A and B are shown apart, each in its own frame.
Chain A
Amino acid sequence: MAKRIEVKDLDIYYDKFLAVQGVSMTIQPRSITALIGPSGCGKSTFLRTLNRMHELVPNARVDGKIFMDDEDLYGPGVDPVSVRREIGMVFQRPNPFPTMSIYENVAAGLRLNSTRIKKADLDELVERSLRSANLWEEVKDRLNRPGSGLSGGQQQRLCIARAIAVQPGVLLMDEPCSALDPISTQAIEDLMLELKSDYTIVIVTHNMQQAARVSDVTGFFNLRGVGQPGELVEIDETTKIFSTPSNKATEDYISGRFG
């Protein structure tokens, strides 16, 4: 189920502005890849190209290739909607649907697409997703309450449950903990480590300890200068990046000597 992603020489544009240049990397299945780097260096932009959310911005486009197992995500005739079926996403701010209950939020991926499914199967799927997101015990007695009544950390886990309910092969997380307190962050990190056995996870984070704690591979993005495109400076085993990075900029950044 977990998929491998291969990025080849990817340039990302907003209209004529080159935002990210020349990214090549391979993301292994059943692993957590963390992307770190200073603000504005294009980590989130890069992440959003992986499930073709980038092109929702008017005039945004990419050059280069991204392969998921051997399929070219940007090949001719590829439907972005089907790409997003395979590659789920969790956002920085928890965003449960305000008109829906907790149950409906988790079922949203199927319900919104009017997928035909038996009530019992849907119940089971919702329970399984909520259990995987470590939220079941907290909400099992109030599944019909609005999702927006939960705490921030619970809402974020609800969003993760919603993302994994459609059983994607890859899960992208864009700073999933930056709006959360340390305890909720801990819960989400534990959850990521559990989900790793079934999914390919890519996480953008500003928290280097978090990258060091949860990820197997870490990629460092940086800007060459003001107004210059962002680029992938270095990507390697997390232990190596945080102990003996091969690039000076990476070392400066992770040791806090940056800027």
Chain B
Amino acid sequence: MPTTTSRDQGPDLHTPLNAAPLTHGQLPRRAPQSVFLAALVAGIALLLSGWNVAAAAIVAGFGYAVVVYAWSRAVEGPRKATDRLVTAVVTGAFLLALIPLISVVFTVISKGAPRFDDQFFTYSMRGVVGEGGGAYHAIMGTLIITGLAALISVPIGLLTAIYLVEYGRGKLARAITFFVDVMTGIPSIVAGLFAYALFALIFGPGVRMGIMGAVALSVLMIPVVVRSTEEMLKIVPNELREAAYALAVPKWRTIVKVVLPTALAGIATGVTLAVARVIGETAPLLVTVGITSSDNFNPFDGRMATLPVFSYYQYVTPGVPPDPALNRAWTAALTLIIIVMVLNLAARLISRLFAPKTRG
């Protein structure tokens, strides 16, 4: 028929060019797991035959990746094989990154546990030589100094961020943004020296006070607070500001009553994380606050103890025999980690509590 012949002459548009089948081979469901088990067994065998842990793990890991890739390529084709290889590599990188974390947590817990007792949390180091003693004074010192640092940095950081997001235009705003970026990179010891130099100008050289440490820490904390608050304020939709303006609400009330409450969860989280960031600083406190073995909870008068510095001094000047001091150093480190973890959990809780609710 003429119609069919004319269609036959034209290019065939109905069959796909690379007519690959929709089905292809598949590895058995438990294939990766079995290969992993085999690699694990091989690794343990190498370990028993005298290899060290790292070498055995590396060989086993490589073996797993190679076997899975080759097998999958033979059965499933190159795309699936690449997928499995990259999965293996990514998982391996993740495990590698996890090793230091687990190692630190394990070491600190195992070495800090022996002195993690009542006495550690209720006694200072006054008159303690050798056994016993505690870090009550250092824990309180850390809380007081970090609290003061937060008290200084939060208002400054918050107001700076509000200026940058809501008011800042032109040169001044650009300059502030630039200097906040520069401040983010200040080494902590420099912050400490700055605070020392500042107070030495007023009180003379050799001065040591808790408030100096708080000032040094706030130099480190302010840029973090500014940055996180700025990001949080920026993501408040402009529509909400316009809605408030359209209700004849002045700008400052819009900021205080609409923008800040909307961003509160993020701001609170950012502040908590900034506190967690500076609470473990050692260097600036070393040069500004120093250390003492007795209770001193007055940040405006003389040396105070703080957990990081306490830990440092217990470690570098242990005395004879050294063990009690070293134990105290580890327990102080453990306490610090626990405080930071509690702060991080608090940040999550805060962000959940303050987050704008969509469903009631």
B207-256 residues at the A interface, CB under 8 angstroms: 237, 239-240, 242-250, 253-254
Chain A residues near B247 (CB-CB < 8 A):
84, 88, 108-109, 112-113, 162-163, 166
**Max chain B CB contacts within 10 Å: which of A93, A99, A112, A145?**
A99
Fill in one digit per residue for B343-360: 1 if any A CB lies within 8 Å of its CB, else 0: 000000000000011111
Contacts of A84 in B (CB 8 A): 245-248
Of residues 142 to 198 in A, which have CB atoms within 8 Å of B's CB atoms?
Answer: 142, 144-146, 148-149, 159, 162-163, 166
Per the bound structure, the CA–CA distance linking A240 and B3 in Å amounts to 57
Q: Is the CB of A95 within 8 A of B253?
A: no
Q: Which listed residue, B242, B245, B257, B358, touches A98 by the CB 8 Å rule?
A: B358
A212 interfacial by beta-carbon distance below 8 Å: no
C-alpha gap A93/B238 in the complex (Å): 12
Contact (Cβ within 8 A) A159 B243:
yes
Known: A53-B246, A82-B248, A91-B242. 11 other contacts (CB 8 A): A56-B242, A88-B246, A93-B239, A98-B358, A99-B258, A108-B244, A108-B249, A112-B257, A114-B253, A146-B358, A148-B357
Interface check B169, CB cutoff 8 A: yes
Residues of chain B lying within 8 A (CB to CB) of residue A78: none
Q: Is B153 at the interface (CB under 8 A from chain A)?
A: no
B261 at the interface (CB under 8 A from A): yes
For the complex, give the distance between the alpha carbons of A108 and B247 in Å.
Answer: 8
The reply on A51 being an interface residue by CB < 8 A is yes
Q: Which residues of B contact A (CB under 8 A)?
A: 169, 237, 239-240, 242-250, 253-254, 257-258, 261-262, 264, 356-360
Q: List 4 tightest A-B contacts by C-beta distance, closest first.
A: A145-B360, A98-B356, A89-B246, A85-B248
Let me know if B359 and A163 touch, CB within 8 A.
no
Evaluate contact between B360 and A149: CB separation under 8 angstroms.
Answer: yes
User: Which chain B positions have C-beta within 8 A of A88?
Assistant: 246-247
A residues within 8 A CB of B257?
Answer: 111-112
Q: Chain A 76-116 against B: per-residue CB contact (8 Å), 1 yes, 0 no?
A: 00000110110011010101111101000000110111100
- For A97, the chain B residues whose CB sits under 8 A away are 240, 243-244, 258, 262
B360 touches A112 (CB 8 A): no
Q: Does A256 make an interface contact (CB < 8 A)?
A: no
17 contacts between A and B (CB under 8 A): A51-B246, A53-B246, A56-B245, A81-B250, A84-B245, A91-B242, A95-B243, A98-B357, A98-B358, A99-B264, A108-B244, A109-B248, A109-B249, A112-B244, A113-B247, A148-B356, A149-B359
Residues 105-135 of A, flagged 1 when their CB comes within 8 A of B and 0 if not, give: 0001101111000000000000000000000
Instruction: Report Cα–Cα, A58/B240, bound state, in Å.
Output: 18
Whole-angstrom distance between the Cβ of A107 and the nearest chain B Cβ:
10
For B246, give its contact among A93, A114, A145, A163 (CB under 8 Å).
A163
Q: Map CB proximity to B onto A30-70 as digits: 1 under 8 Å, 0 otherwise.
A: 00000000000000000000010100101000000000000
Residues of A within 8 A of B356 (CB): 98-99, 146, 148
Q: How many whole Å from B124's CB to the nearest CB in chain A?
A: 45
Q: How long is the Cα–Cα vector from A112 to B248 in the complex, in angstroms?
A: 9
Interface of B is mostly: helix
Which residues on A sit within 8 Å (CB–CB) of B250?
Answer: 81, 113
Q: From residue B263, how far is it (CB to closest CB) to chain A in Å?
A: 10
> A163 contacts which chain B residues (CB < 8 A)?
246-247
Bound CA–CA A166/B253 (angstroms): 16
A95 to B236, CA, bound (A): 12
When C-beta atoms are compared, the residue in chain A nearest to B253 turns out to be A112
Q: CB-CB < 8 A to B237: which residues of A?
A: 95
Q: Which residues of B contact A146 (CB under 8 A)?
A: 356-360
Bound-state Cα–Cα, A89 to B249, Å: 13
Specify the chain B residue showing the minimal Cβ separation from A108: B247
Residues of the B chain whose Cβ atoms lie less than 8 Å from the Cβ of A58: 169
Are B254 and A112 in touch, CB under 8 angstroms?
yes
Give chain B residues whose Cβ lies under 8 Å from the Cβ of A142.
360
Task: Kindly identify which residue among B242, B246, B248 contacts A113, using a CB–CB cutoff of 8 Å.
Answer: B248
A95 and B360 form a contact (CB under 8 A): no
Contact B261 A99 (CB under 8 A): yes
Q: Which single residue of chain A is at the shortest CB-CB distance from B260?
A: A99
Contacts of A112 in B (CB 8 A): 244, 247, 249, 253-254, 257-258
Asked whether A166 lies within 8 Å of B248 as measured between CB atoms, the reply is yes
Contacting residues, chain B, for A101 (C-beta < 8 A): 360
**Residues of chain B within 8 A of A149, CB atoms compared:** 357-360
| B248 contacts A81, C-beta separation under 8 Å | yes
A59 nearest CB neighbor, chain B only:
B169
Checking A53, A111, A144 against B245 with a beta-carbon cut-off of 8 angstroms, the contacting residue is A53
Q: Could you say which of B169, B254, B261, B356 has the most chain A C-beta atoms within 10 Å of its C-beta?
A: B356
Chain A residues closer than 8 Å to B357, beta-carbon distance = 98, 146, 148-149
Q: Chain A residues with Cβ under 8 A from B246's Cβ?
A: 51, 53, 84, 88-89, 91, 163
Chain B contacts of A148 at CB under 8 A?
356-358
Task: For A108, list chain B residues within 8 Å (CB).
Answer: 244, 247, 249
Chain B residues whose C-beta falls within 8 Å of the C-beta of A53 in the assembled complex: 242, 245-246
- Cα–Cα distance between A91 and B239 once the two chains are bound (Å): 8
Query: In whole angstroms, how far apart are the Cα atoms of A198 and B145 in the complex?
Result: 61
Chain A residues whose CB sits within 8 angstroms of the CB of B254 once the complex forms: 112
Closest-CB distance, B268 to chain A (whole angstroms): 13
Bound: A101/B249 CA distance, A: 18
Q: Which residues of A contact B169 (CB under 8 A)?
A: 58
B240 proximity list for chain A (CB < 8 A)? 95, 97-98
Candidates A85, A98, A109; contact of B262 at CB < 8 Å: A98
Q: Return chain A residues, CB-CB under 8 Å to B243.
A: 91, 95-97, 159, 162
